[in-house]
Structure 1
C-alpha cells in the first residue's frame, strides 16, 4: 500500500506540475479536460504496471520458517500483533466513513432540492426555480436559479448559456469523480489541487462558449465581475462565479496557434515515458542455480567414470611435475586446466561419437599445468570488479556456504506483519580482497522491510575467503536469493 501511495502521488505531482507549466495557459481547454482526468487515472494505475529487467542469480541461500537461535536450536518465527497498524486502519475507516456520509448527504440534498423545485424545460437542461437568492449553478441536468429573478427576467442570457455548457458537457461527472477520490484518499492533499484545476478548466470551457456565442468580451467580463461572490460555492455543483480571477479574464482574449498546441501536446509523450520507466522498472532476478547444480552433479559423475583409470601429473610454476592425483582429488582450478575431450577435434562430435569417446575412457596419464598461459585467467586493472565466471577460485564463506545459511537464519528478523509471508529476497554485494563485504544491495524483495533486513544481516557477516585470479585475491560481485517463509 505504501508503495502504491508513493508511486501514484509522485506521478500525480509530476503531471499536475506539467499541466500548470505547459498547458493551463493555452486555449486548448477540451484537451486539458481530458489530460487532467487521464492524469488521475494514469497515476492510480501506474503502480500496477511493471517492466521487468532480468538479472541472473547463480547462488542460492534458503531461509525457511525455522531459524537457528544462539543455542543452536531451531525455533519457529513468532509474529506479534502490530497495534499501531490496527489503530491507523481504524482511524482511516472512521474518517472515510464520515466523509463518505457527508458526500452522499450533499448529493441527496441537491437531488431533493431539484425534486421539490418548480422545473421548466430549457433546451437540453432543466431549470429548477428555488426560493434561495442565488446566482445560477448546475448539478447534473439541473440549472438552479432564483425564482424571483427568473420571473422578473433579471438573469442575463449569457448566464444561461454559461450554465448550459456545464450541463451539455457533463462537468458534474468530473467533479463527482474527483470528490469520490478525495473521500478515499482524504489524507492526500494533491486531489484538492486537481479539483481546483478541473473546475477552473470547466469555467474556461463555459466562458469560451459564451464569448463565441455573443462576441462581446468586455460586457461578459464586466458581468462576471459584477456577479462575483454573490452566492456561496457548492462543492458538487458548477458555479457561475467560481474563481473569477485575472487568469480567467485574460483567457477570454487569449489565442493559441495550432503549431504551439501540437508542440505542447507532444511534450507530454516523453514525460509519460519517463514516468513509466522511472516508476515501473523493476530488476527481477532469474534463478539458475538448481539446473546448473543438477547438470554439474551429473557431469561430475560422467567425468569420474571417464577419468577412472587416469593418473594426473600436476606441474608447479616452473613446469616440474610435483604430484600425482586421481580425478576426484583435483582442485577446481586443476580440473579447469584438464585438456578438453574435444579440444583437438576439427569439428564438433555427434552425440554417438561423444558417447563412444566417453565409454572408451581417457589416457592413462595426463599432465596438468595450471600455470600455463592458456589456463591463466585474464587479470584486470587493480581494483576492478570480477564476476564469478572470470575468476580462478570462487569466494567462499568460512567452513562452507551452509555456515553462511546458519548465520543468516540466526540474525534475520522476520517482519511482524503479515501472516504467512513467503517469497524471495535477491541480494548482491562485493566481496573485497580482504574478504570483507561492501556495496550490499537488494534488487528485489517481498515488502514489509524484508529487503532492508536482508541488507542489515549481510552487512553483519564475518569476512569471507576472497575470490582469486591466478592465486591473487580480487574484488568479486556476488549474488544470492534468500527464501523467506514465515509460520502462522
Structure 2
C-alpha cells in the first residue's frame, strides 16, 4: 500500500510590484504595509494543512502527484474567503487542496494598509507526493549527499528581516519592463531558487512564466538577492529550494 506525504512548498510569499489594489471593485490588495499573518507563522500553517489533507484514493490508485497552487483572500476580520485554484494538477487533488484551505479554522492577523485592516490576496503552493515508505526522505529532497536540495527542513532559510522584508526588497528592486507596460502585460511569475549552505542564492529559474520580459526581470531580481540565513536539517546547513510568486500589476 502506498504511503504519501503532503507539504507546503518552501516559498509562501506573494510579492507584488506595486502596493496597489488588485481589484478596484472588491478592494483586494496584493501587497500592503502590514501583510496578513497566520497564527504561529508559515511553519504552523504548513503543519495544519498537512494534518488536514486526505490524499484522494483515486489519485493514489492512479499515482497522481503534483503541486497545486491555491489563492485566497484574507479579509478584514482575518478569515479566508474566495479560495480558488490558481494552478491545478488533477480535479481530485485540486478539490482536496481547496477543501483544506476552506477548512482552516484559525483566524489570521489581518493585513493593514495605513493602519486600516484590508482584504489581501495570498497564494499557497501545496505539493501532493506519493511515497513507497522507505524512500520518504528522498521525497522531501532531490539529489543525494552534500549536494541534496531540500524542499522542507527543520529550520527553514530566512531572508534578513523576514518575509515582509523580502516582499519589500523585491517590490523595490523590480523595474517594470517598458515593453510590458506598453502592451499592458500583467501576471504572476513563479520563480524558484536554492538558498545555498552559505546563504547565497543559486539555481534560480522560472517555474511558471507570463511573458519573456516579465520573466527575465523577475529572474534578474531573484538572482541579485542578498545573503540569507541558511536552512538547517538536524543542525547542519543544507541547500533548500524556495519559491516566490511575483505579481506584476499595472495601475
TM-score (norm 2): 0.47
* Structure with the bigger percentage of strand: 2
TM-score (norm 1): 0.25
Does 1 or 2 have the higher relative contact order (CA < 8 Å, sep 6+)?
2
